[in-house]
Amino acid sequence: MKKYFIKPGDRFGMLTVISEESRKEKGVTRRYVKVRCDCGNELEVIGGNLFKGNHTTSCGCYARKVRSELSTTHGHSRRDGGNKNRTYRCWEAMKQRCFNPNNDDYWNYGQRGITVCERWKNSFENFLADMGECPADRYIDRIDNDKGYEPSNCRWADALQQVYNRRCTKRVEYEGKMYTLRELSNMTGFSYDLLDHRLTIGFTVKEAVETPKGKRRAECKTTQTNN
């Protein structure tokens, strides 16, 4: 068998030889080499494992690093204090709602045809590049609730924006723009209930917004006609 010569300072991958000794174990003499890994760990390996076949190249840190990089190239799925990164959790939850029939929210998403675009479906990196990090007080929100999750239809919205953007939220057109009834209430100072009542009994949006409190629609029309 060919003998490989090893001396202090020799390098094998990430390992640097410190010393070598031969020990007889169960009638067999083995060469043991003490090495220091680039990460700082020191260990003892069988000399033959530094060559050819088994080929030891690190203390194990390199293999762990490769496994970690294979599982995530962005670092967001790694757990920190038991929790995954907020943006990564958002991406995972989005897919669960759309593709997992066992998810509690599937009926309101996947079941009615809401899906995730191909660019995002299998790539968190693409999702992160398009949306950026999720702010602490924001949530992913689809601008058009009848469309799926895609770059042109998604934003990070706060809780109030999400409430305004629910499918059940009333939307009306006023002066060429679409508003939720809640937004018009905030803009005009009229209560949501007053605007809702006026529209229910037949006010136009313009009349509901511009008729002063305490006045009837007919009174305003008479005043406008006399002017």
DSSP for 206-225 reads: HHHHHSPTT--HHHHHHHHH
pTM of the model: 0.44
Low-confidence residues in the chain, pLDDT < 50: 1, 53-54, 69-70, 73, 79-82, 167-168, 222-227
Of 178, 186, 134, 185, nearest to 157 by C-alpha is: 134
- Report pLDDT digits (tens) over 66-110: 555 445 545 565 544 445 688 988 999 999 989 998 888 888 888
**Which DSSP string corresponds to 38-102?**
TTS-EEEEEGGGGSTTT---SSSHHHHHHHHHHH-SSS-SS-BTTB--HHHHHHHHHHHHHH-TT
C-alpha span between 149 and 145 (Å, rounded): 9
- Assess contact for 51 and 4: CB atoms under 8 A: yes
Other CB atoms closer than 10 Å to residue 213's CB: what's the count? Answer: 8
Q: What whole-number distance in Å separates Cα of residue 118 and Cα of residue 129?
A: 14
Domains of the chain (ranges plus CATH)?
11-68 (2.40.10), 79-166 (no CATH), 170-217 (no CATH)
pLDDT at 1: 44
Alpha-carbon span 210 to 203, nearest angstrom: 10
The closest of 79, 100, 88, 73 to 127, measured between CA atoms, is 88
The per-residue pLDDT for 66 is: 53
Count of other CB atoms within 10 angstroms of residue 95: 21
Nearest to 110 by CA among 123, 100, 118: 100
Taking the C-alpha atoms of residue 6 and residue 8, their distance in angstroms, rounded to an integer, is: 7
Instruction: Give the Cα separation of 32 and 56 in Å (integer).
Output: 13
- CA separation for the pair 12, 5 (Å, rounded): 13
Helix (H, G, I), strand (E, B) or coil at 80: strand
Give Cα 130 distance to the centre of its chain: 11
pLDDT at 21: 83
